[in-house]
Amino acid sequence: MSLNVVLDRFGEIIEGNHYRGFCHISRDTEEDGFFVMVYRQADPQSDVLLSEWFPSMQAVNHFVRDQSWVVYWQDQHRPL
């Protein structure tokens, strides 16, 4: 696993078990958790390949580890 989480940025999944596309992780302020979304393109209007909610960052990390994801995060100056 190679994931240093960067919230609210797209990260291209360049290695992993099941998904290729662009990962986006955001905080769910209403339910105190995190959303993990995988889009086909680095665009929130593109096809959603995966949508999961997790109660903690530890749960996100376990999921990512199980997927063997390597994510390349976009430049910090290009927000969603």
Lowest mean pLDDT among 3-7, 8-12, 19-23, 65-69: 3-7
pLDDT at 47: 96
Which residues fall within 8 angstroms of residue 72, CB to CB, at 6 or more apart? Answer: 11, 12, 14
Of the pLDDT bands very low, low, confident and very high (cuts 50, 70, 90), residue 80 is very low
3-state secondary structure (DSSP) of residue 67? helix
- Amino acid identity of 19? Y
Separation CA 10–CA 16 (nearest Å): 16
Residue 16 in contact with residue 32, Cβ under 8 Å?
no
Choice among 2-6, 10-14, 19-23, 38-42 with the minimum mean pLDDT: 2-6
Q: Which of 11, 15, 32 is nearest to 23 (CA)?
A: 11
2 pLDDT more than 50: no
Write down the mean pLDDT value for the chain. 86
